[in-house]
Structure 1
Amino acid sequence: MQPPESSVHYSRWDDSSPDQVSMAAVSNTGEPSCCQRISQKLCGGKLGVAMKVLGGVVLFWVVFILGYITGYYVHKCK
């Protein structure tokens, strides 16, 4: 799989105006790949928000449980 080609165009015609730099990615096909479609579906819109909230809740509980277990063994009475 080859990386997509990109073109960079830099123009500076007048010193008083800010520099203009434009970048455009050139794609060989008109439609996004399978991974891009899945990423757009899971990371955008209402489903994307729900996935991020669910991921945050799962991450919270994983860290909580690991901290609880670690604290138990660190502070266990001998």
Structure 2
Amino acid sequence: MEPSGESSVHYDRWNESNINMNVEASESTTRRLYNRVCTGYTGIALKAVGALAALVVIYVIGYVTGYYVHRCP
């Protein structure tokens, strides 16, 4: 329960004239690219394609390594 006295936390109201509502102009190019590519359905698809490409690369490395290790003399 809160004490009946005054709270020690003070909240200031925002001064409406100092708020920058133009978010696109204040964001950096890398942040806009990240928001467009790495979030939502595009981000999920991009991560899935990246994971599949990594698995293929690991498979090829393992196949080539196994070929040279188990090659008949």
Equivalence for 2:28: 33
Larger RCO, structures 1/2 (Cα 8 Å, 6+ apart): 1
Equivalence for 1:64: 59
Percent of aligned pairs with the same amino acid:
36
List alignment gaps of at least 5 residues for structure 1: 1-12, 14-29
Q: Which structure's residues are more often helix, by fraction?
A: 2
List alignment gaps of at least 5 residues for structure 2: 1-7, 9-22
TM-score by length of 1: 0.60
Amino acid aligned to 2:63? Y
Amino acid aligned to 1:59? A
Q: Which structure's residues are more often strand, by fraction?
A: 1
The structure that has the greater radius of gyration is: 2
Deviating above 4 A after TM superposition, structure 1's stretches of 4 or more consecutive aligned residues are none
Aligned residues between the structures: 51
CA distance in 2, matches of 1:72, 1:57: 22
